[in-house]
Amino acid sequence: MKLDLLGKQWLDIVFEGRNKSYGAYELRKDNTKTTTRALIIGAIVFAIAVATPKIAEFIGNATANDEAVLDTKITTVKLPPKEEKPKENLPPPPPPPPKVDQVKFVKPVVAKTNEVTEEPPKIEEIKDKNLGKENIKGDPDAELTVEPVGNGPKDVVEEVDNNIYNTAGIEVKPDFPGGIEKFYGYVGKNYQVPEEEGLKGKVFVSFVVEKDGSLTDIKVIRDIGYGTGKEAIRVLKNCPKWNPGEQNGKKVRVLYSLPINIQSAE
């Protein structure tokens, strides 16, 4: 009796009288299936490993071709030229200048008498004429147009100085008619102190003395409350005109600031 090693009969002979539930018997029994399965999986993995570079190369070539086609389409697109609108209200072009006789200028060259082909023009011929590359006959009937000479501006417009100067650098400072004491007398007479017991302090104000002596841009820099700032603005708005400041012999606008003492009646 021949024993077929490729079959499963030899397993029964080898494991006769032994424990077949042991793992070695089961492994040898399923060896054919395991080997076949391993060959199939190995073949699939090998095929994928071989085909992957080809697939990547194919995808790369397709992408490159798509980009080349896209670039070609983009570069071949031409936009229509922009239509320029004719400019309006343009002055008419100046008339062409009248033609003047022009005499061809021949550069003097030292040569022998028999080699001279063209003599240069004489002084009488080029008098009151232009020199050019060829002789051109002017238009003797052309009218010469000359613009009339203007008279220029009749009045000299002086530049208006609207700068606001500081009292520190002004030549002539603005002042109240009669002096600063008169001004404080006016303020003390017209300023209505709030009826607040023990109210005492200084209200600092600033204003611009205009060229005509009026006060503008009145601002309260600091007050002590209870409406003291608003009352200071009211008094300054009704203030008589000051004598304006001067710089370089001209009246100018000057920024002025001063304190106003406030003290309620006890």
Whether pLDDT at 210 is above 70: yes
**DSSP H/E element including 159:** none
- What are residue 262's DSSP bridge partners? 201
**φ, ψ (nearest 5 deg) of residue 180:** -70, -30
Q: What integer pLDDT is reported at residue 76 of this predicted model?
A: 57
**φ, ψ (nearest 5 deg) of residue 177:** -55, 120
Whether pLDDT at 204 is above 70: yes
Q: How far apart are CA 210 and CA 165, in angstroms?
A: 11
At 128, the pLDDT band (50, 70, 90 cuts) reads low
Average pLDDT (72-80) is 59
Give me the residue label for tokens 């494991």.
15
Signed CA dihedral, 98, 100, 104, 107: sign only = negative
pTM over 0.95: no
Average pLDDT (195-207) is 87
Q: What integer pLDDT is reported at residue 212 of this predicted model?
A: 93
Q: What integer pLDDT is reported at residue 235 of this predicted model?
A: 92
> What confidence tens digit (pLDDT) does each residue in 130-149 have?
666 666 666 666 666 666 66
At 265, the pLDDT band (50, 70, 90 cuts) reads low
Counting DSSP H helices and E strands in the chain, the numbers are: 6, 7
Q: What integer pLDDT is reported at residue 33 of this predicted model?
A: 74
Tokens of 249: 């012999």
Q: What integer pLDDT is reported at residue 49 of this predicted model?
A: 86
Q: How far apart are CA 109 and CA 157, in angstroms?
A: 61
Helix, strand, or coil (residue 108): coil
Q: How far apart are CA 224 and CA 256, in angstroms?
A: 20
Q: Are 226 and 201 in contact (CB under 8 A)?
A: no
